[in-house]
Amino acid sequence: MSDGFTKARAMNFPRQVLAGHGCVGQTGAMCGEFELKGTALIVTGPTTGNLAAGLVKESLEQANYVVQQVEVGPATKENLVKVEEVAKDVKAAFLLGVGGGSKIDLAKLASLNLKAPFLSIPTSASHDGIASPRASIKDGGNSLSLNAKVPLGVIADTALIVKAPYRLLASGCADVISNTTAIMDWQLAERLRSEDVSSSAANLAKYASESIIENASAIKPNLEESVWVAIRPIIISGISMAVAGSSRPTSGSEHMFSHLLDRIAPGKALHGEQCGVGSIMMMYLHGGDWQRIRNALQMIGAPTSASELGVTEAQLIESLVHAHEIRKDRYTILGDRGLTPDAAERLARITRVV
């Protein structure tokens, strides 16, 4: 920068990350170490509530905490209001998001709005939001990506996560693999638009994606060891966003493609699955090794084609054509004008996505 000064910016990280077999039993002890007092509110869903939330509640009660619970569905504005109202009613001093990404996102946003600490306790790992300062929430027909609170602590119990459908873990791995193109987009924006790049954040995000790619053959269904291999890079990917102060190191053109596909073909595929397929194509546009990404995804068992995503060729091509419109403020390999329909179709055919 010309004046030699940089703007001050806070970087918030989880104070403690526990990952391993049975570590959910240490929830109460972790809250004690953080010197948390008062009523704990568990934010969970109907599917995870019975198993994981019960174990969390037991651990907290053994540490003499008063525990309340709220059961919610998807991450919507209505469910966020519900969580906040319950938190106020029970005078919750801190929150624990126990479940998949949507429950953690709701706890994350509610804790920010209520100025209360929160712990992230994932029961699946379908994307890299476990430890990130970002949350996705649906407001009517729109999906919003918002700034949220970084968890005070993360407890990733591999014995719980391995019980979730394997498709969720494969999707989380695909989401992290897609960091490769997000970083290239960020560096392109630095060269062409003088955008500030945090090399620390980029290196963390790259380390996470390379860890998944290099260990792809070890990530298999019904194997707790696979969860252990995948969970650290997934958490580190989220922390890279805290370092950057934005989602830039983990979200570029491949995420724009995914968000557009959500509009055109909602509910067909998981976020991470779409980002993985997007990353194959965006890597081709960058002139990089798109086949390496495709091979890693196939090895893990994540989708690499439109048919595997459950969308039509026409829907996929339309998503490619309009992806650049998603975030005008974020420069990527798609540029300001995007791809023509012919170029989009050619890209999808060359990379064997259609």
Q: Is the pLDDT of residue 4 over 60?
A: no
Note the pLDDT tens digit of each residue in 94-130.
999 999 989 999 999 999 999 999 999 999 999 888 9
Domains (range + CATH), the chain:
16-161 (3.40.50.1970), 166-350 (1.20.1090.10)
Q: Is the pLDDT of residue 88 over 90?
A: yes
Q: Is the pLDDT of residue 5 over 60?
A: no
Q: Is the pLDDT of residue 32 over 60?
A: yes
Looking at the chain, the whole-number percentage of residues with pLDDT higher than 70 is 96
Residue ranges of E strands in the chain? 16-20, 39-44, 67-71, 92-99, 118-122, 134-139, 142-147, 153-157
| Tokens describing residue 25 | 């039993």
Angle (deg, nearest 10), helices 179-193 and 253-264: 120
State residue 215's pLDDT score.
98
Reference 85, options 123, 60, 114; nearest CA is 114
Say how far apart CA 38 and CA 93 lie, in whole Å: 5
Say how far apart CA 36 and CA 220 lie, in whole Å: 38
* Mean pLDDT to the nearest integer, 238-261: 95
Note the pLDDT tens digit of each residue in 44-55.
998 866 689 999
| Tokens describing residue 173 | 């791995």
How many CB atoms lie under 10 A from the CB of residue 249? 28
* Beta pairing partners, 18: 155
Token pair 């968000």 is found at 259
Note the pLDDT tens digit of each residue in 303-323.
999 999 999 999 999 999 999
| Tokens describing residue 144 | 């919003």
Within 8 A by CB and 6+ apart from 64, the residues are none
9: pLDDT confidence band, cut at 50, 70 and 90?
low
Q: Is the pLDDT of residue 1 over 80?
A: no
3-state class (DSSP) for residue 145:
strand
Note the pLDDT tens digit of each residue in 56-80.
999 999 999 999 999 999 999 999 9
Average pLDDT, the chain: 94
Within 8 A by CB and 6+ apart from 262, the residues are 143, 271, 274
Q: Is the pLDDT of residue 3 over 50?
A: no
Say how far apart CA 101 and CA 137 lie, in whole Å: 10
pTM: 0.93
* Mean pLDDT to the nearest integer, 230-244: 95
Looking at the chain, the whole-number percentage of residues with pLDDT higher than 90 is 87
State residue 144's pLDDT score.
80
Residue ranges of E strands in 200-350? none
State residue 12's pLDDT score.
82
State residue 2's pLDDT score.
39
Token pair 């009613």 is found at 89
